[in-house]
Chain A
Amino acid sequence: MTHQSHLRFKEWCKHALLCCVLFFAFVPFFLMLMISLKTNDQYTTNPWWFDAPSQWCWANWTKGWNTVGHYITNSIVVAVGSVLLCLTISIPTSYVIARYRFPGRELVYYALMATMFLPGGAAALVTTFKLISSMGLVNNLAALVLLSGIGGQVSCVFILRQFIEEIPKELFESASIDGAGHLRQMWSIMLPLSGPVIGTLAIMNFLGAWNDLIMPLILLRDDQMLTIPVGLMRLDGEYVKMWGELMAGYSIAAIPLVILFLFTIRLFVRGLTAGAVKG
């Protein structure tokens, strides 16, 4: 083998390996779509591949939509609300912590970071529930927005702080001599320069709120109020045997994220690989 063809062979090996990995990552995706178009009978006789398109069972999707539709609205409300809350409170905090030395700075920062190591386990769930119910927010989406927005700010501050500290401080100083106040410095200097990072953080926070199960499970009561994960979990319990409908429901539940990713995937991938999320 020449050196050239040896190199090419090595490249091919890498591609093969990555494709193999991707295959496994996409199998669930594929199966979900496939099974969503089958009746239970079709599934048992032919579990591995699509049937002829004429036999596709679209009724699964209608049923799926009827059951999952309003969960999606709830989830979007919670996730968007949580992202907004998280960013509005963590941006000023990271700005302050990254730019200034002042009494109490370390205290706030470490109080934030320490929450990563709290055993956020089931015991705190109990008292959190007590707190939420004393605020009268049980069975209310606002409670979820509050909890996941405030929980999500920890990693946001952690990452943003690092990022802002890497922005040359002369830029901020120059702006402040030019006449910019804190808000203006955040808006005109910090946001444009950390845009991709903030975008990535927003998406991460969105995904966190979107996939959260335990809190909604404890806090939500009415079927009208459920978010996607809880709703699907209930479906899973009810329709033990109706695989097709279940999968159609799952597929529909994935649609909002598909749309979100269609628009943001470049940003997100860049942000993640640029080391935006180091920890």
Chain B
Amino acid sequence: MSGDSTPRTGETRRAAAAGTIEIPVDGAGSMARWWPRARFVAMLWLMMLPTIAGLAIFTYFPNLETVKYSLYKWDGGAVEEFRLFYNFKQIFGGGDPRYWAAFSLIGVLLAANLVKMWPSIFTAIVLHRLKSERWQFFYRVLFVVPMVIPGLVGLLLWKGYYDPNVGLFNKLLNGIGLMPVLNSLDTAMPALAAFVNGNLLVWNSANPLWSILLLPTQIITPLFGGLWGMLVFGFVLLLLRDGVQTIPGRWMLWVMVMAFAVLTWGPNPFENPLPFLARGLILLGGGALLVEWLRKRDSIEGKDVVARIAAGVLITAGLLVLLSKIWVDPTNAFINGNPSWLGHSKLVVPAVIVWGFPWIGTVGVLIYLAGLANISKEVYEAAELDGIGFWGKIFRIEIPLILTQVRINLIFLTIGTLNEYGFFLILLGPDGGPDNAGLTPGLYMYQKAFIQSEMGYACALGMVMFTLILFLTIVYQRHLKVDK
């Protein structure tokens, strides 16, 4: 393509109009060859210059600087002292248990978010199935309207709902009689946990292999902590359904994901690596074999066994993680009927999870709707003639066809959850609330940087996070192209 860079003067135009002959630009010399093209490309780059400059200065430069400062002791001001890998030794050498503990919170949140994704999808499907176009448009408009409330106001409103005495949440719970139920569960659930715990202890002491895998003194917490690994497992299963076709490719994926899972599994994997390694290997080997076997069956029987198992694993693991985080010990918060949801270390996480009920992101609904709109009427009609039912339509037509949107959403969900801190900062303050119950890795980073002025250390934490996200991104990249 030739450019528009050639000057177009009045003379040439008039000359052309008058039909006069112009002096030919002679010389097929190499200069004449590449010069117009070079000028043309330069023009294109010039048009992108603002973007490039902005990106370089305001995005890449700060991010690259964190790499530099991760090797420094830096307070954000004058104190700047190079100390090589000291920060990283601190992080990985057991000097920072709170950071690694923060990752198990991420596990819980991720599980919760995976569940919270579905109401939007179902709403979109219901909306899509409305027969009347006018009603559809009407609802779509209504779905956008709540966006006028500034995001922060929504947040502060919910914070108000959770107020122990005047908050609407407690009033609601008391009003519909759920509070006494919660109170009785508060004794029942810990009893159940203790029962399971006791039985496991007995079995555990009789089984030497078990003691390698789990720390013998506390069983139920690490077990449930391990569900994070299960979550990852389910996730990978889901991803593997269609994607990497070669066996070595899948195994590489496994190694990466499992390394990640093991890393974020429990407290600090680097203090006592053996059980973590053992668990990791079991997950890696067993899981991968299982998947290979399932895939074979899948391709033979043409069923979505893998997907179903993945969904099952995800749901169970999610539920178990949620439960385990709350009710190993009695909270004693419900007796007076005014639990302080954001002020009790055991209630912070449930409060965060219930947050935003019924979890319908209106923009999310519209995006799914966009995917659904691509399904042609003929597909539905054909399916109806084939005798498809209500659920069949959902699981065999609609969800498979919006899978792209769902997957993209999953990526951003994961990365978003890993990075999350703004929400917790506003809600719980830089400490993450009582007992740091709501301390995410991101918030911890924020705390280190802005409260404790250990900016160099915060940069090092940022680098760790970056590596994790890089891994995840690579994994996802193998399954869907960013620009598709």
Residues of A within 8 A of B (CB): 11, 14-15, 17-18, 21-22, 24-26, 28-29, 31-32, 43-44, 47, 88-90, 92-93, 95-97, 100, 102-104, 108-109, 111-113, 115-131, 146-147, 149-151, 153, 157-158, 161-162, 176, 181-182, 207, 210-211, 213-214, 218, 228-229, 232-233, 236, 243, 246, 250, 253-254, 257-258, 261, 265-266, 268-269, 272-279
Contact = CB atoms under 8 A, between A and B. Distances in A.
What is the predominant secondary structure among interface residues of chain B facing chain A? helix
B379 interface: no
Nearest to A208: B151
Given A127-B62, A261-B147, A182 B4 contact: yes
B458 A126 contact: yes
Find the residue from B55, B141, B370 having the highest chain A CB count within 10 A: B55
Contact of B151 (A24, A96, A211, A279): A211
Contacts of B148: 254, 257-258, 261
21 contacts: A11-B131, A15-B130, A18-B127, A28-B154, A28-B157, A43-B166, A47-B166, A108-B48, A108-B51, A108-B52, A119-B415, A121-B421, A124-B66, A125-B449, A126-B449, A131-B65, A213-B422, A232-B153, A250-B156, A261-B145, A273-B370
B175 to A, nearest CB: 9
A153 to B, nearest CB: 6
Contacts of A24: 357-358, 360
Contacts of B386: none
Contacts of B65: 127, 130-131
Interface stretch (B200-208, B223-231, B284-292, B463-471): B463-471
Contacts of B370: 272-278
Contact of B360 (A21, A31, A96, A277): A21
B115 to A, nearest CB: 16
Find the residue from B52, B58, B59, B469 having the highest chain A CB count within 10 A: B59
B390 to A, nearest CB: 9
A195 to B, nearest CB: 18
Contact of B152 (A43, A93, A153, A211): A211
B111 interface: no
B97 interface: no
A157 B51 CA distance: 10
A253 B157 CA distance: 13
B455 interface: yes
